[in-house]
Amino acid sequence: MKDAVIGNAELTQDLTGFMQQVLNDNPAVPGIVMEIDAPAASFCFSHAVGVANKATGTPLSCDHPARVASNTKTYVAAAILRLWEDGKLDLDAPIKRYLPPDHIATLEQGGYDLEAIKVRHLLTHTSGLFDYSDSDAFNEKVLPGTHCWTRFEQLQGAVAWGQPYGPPGEVFRYTDTGFNELAEIIEQVSGASSYGTAIRDLVGFEKLGIHKTWLEDFEPQPANTLERAHQYLDGASNFDHDPSEDLHGGGGLVATMADLLLFHQALFAGGVYSRPETVQVMLSTVPSKRGGPIAYGREQTPGEYRMGLFVYEIGGALCYLHGGFFGTEAVYIPSLRTTIALTVNMAESRAGARLLDLVVRRLNTEDGLK
């Protein structure tokens, strides 16, 4: 697909310039794809700069999919809320009701009270479950990228490698372990062969026109989809890393940025949930007393995470958003009814955050979308 632009030519020029500026200022960043849709302002933007593969110099295009990593959590949360809407799951039920015996036994051996931990705690990162990816033991095994992980192995690691962050509801601490367990709950409750299949059906990918999103290893890559773009950490590509290191609910989906945008836009435009008020449930949280240890370089601030979404101010506007470890971002700006999806295809880079700040500030100006 060629770059697409509808609407304000001056705004389009500025956005294109921001992308090139961020790429020029961050030589380690291979490339950037950005999609924007603002239906109320009759404006859309789709553009790519840079390369999909540093070794070959293949130009990056808007049709290149990428591993979206923790952006997967928003899909998992939406699927849980769809099961709740359908009366198949209670958000305030203890997670012990929905987990299989081996998960229950492992967590209880780790000192977790599975009657006290509710589904709502998992959704808002207030369960107290230790994040297995917090451990040196996990990260030392991940770096070669060759080990094939199971969800249960990562759960065992969470119990063996660390202690609970606190009682459920007391501490906000981002944890992949909790969302892995939510994916397990989705599979147990729905009976689907994988949580990816369940998400596809519960969210309604077909009706939303989401055709280039899939769960790696469990679903085939869609026909007529380009090879994944390479994504980099410390200069090395993760292209050949076994996806199982981040596959089981905390991450796992691959998508084009256009598909990522479609999903996030549908959450707030009424395309995902059967009841409009479910969006407000998604935007609710558990009022924890304190934040846990720093995660991914960020202080943990109680209240900043809802159900599968962060709430931050960016560029002077309130935003609902989530990011992924290898440089993906999805943002909805309610005041502008605008959705943004982008990737910088590089971990541990501030380039994506810088680009978002520039873009939202520009969209939020009088001659932007306001």
Pick left, alpha or beta for residue 296 (phi over 0 → left; psi -120 to 50 → alpha; otherwise beta): left
Strand partners, 341: 35, 330
Judge residue 213's burial from the number of C-beta atoms within 10 Å of its C-beta, 0-12 exposed, 13-18 middle, 19 or more buried.
Answer: buried
pLDDT for res 272 = 98
Weakest mean pLDDT among 35-39, 41-45, 137-141, 219-223: 137-141
Q: Where residue 4 falls among pLDDT bands split at 50, 70, 90?
A: low
Question: Residue 35: which H helix or E strand, with range?
Answer: strand 31-38
Q: Is the pLDDT confidence value at 1 over 60?
A: no
**Domain 64-313 class, CATH top level:** alpha beta
pLDDT in tens, 71-105: 999 999 999 999 999 999 999 999 999 999 999 99
- Token pair 């001659």 is found at 367
Task: Write down the mean pLDDT value for the chain.
Answer: 96
Between CA 314 and CA 353 the distance in angstroms is 9
Which of 306, 274, 234 is CA-nearest to residue 74? 306
3-class DSSP assignment, residue 31? strand
Residue 366: the pLDDT is: 85
Q: What gap in Å lies between CA 45 and CA 38, rounded to an integer? A: 9
Yes or no: say if 168 and 121 are a contact pair by the CB < 8 Å rule.
yes
pLDDT of residue 199: 98
The DSSP letter of residue 314 is E
Contacts of 113 (CB under 8 A, 6+ apart): 167, 168
Going from the C-alpha of 194 to that of each of 43, 99, 163, 268, 307, the distances in angstroms are 37, 15, 29, 26, 21
In the chain, the percentage of residues whose pLDDT exceeds 70 is 99
Angle between helices 351-363 and 9-25 (to 10 degrees): 160
State percent of the chain over pLDDT 90.
94
Inter-axis angle of helices 72-85 and 257-269, nearest 10? 30
> At residue 214, what is the residue type?
W
pLDDT at 28 over 90: yes
Q: What is the pLDDT of residue 141?
A: 87
Q: Find how far residue 94's CA is from the centre of its chain.
A: 25
> Measured between alpha carbons, how far is 94 from 211 in angstroms, rounded to an integer?
35
pLDDT tens digits, 351-362? 999 999 999 999
pTM given for the model: 0.98
- Residues for the chain: how many in total? 370
pLDDT tens per residue, range 314-345: 999 999 999 999 999 999 999 999 999 999 99
Rounded to an integer, what distance in angstroms lies between the CA atom of residue 272 and that of residue 286?
Answer: 23
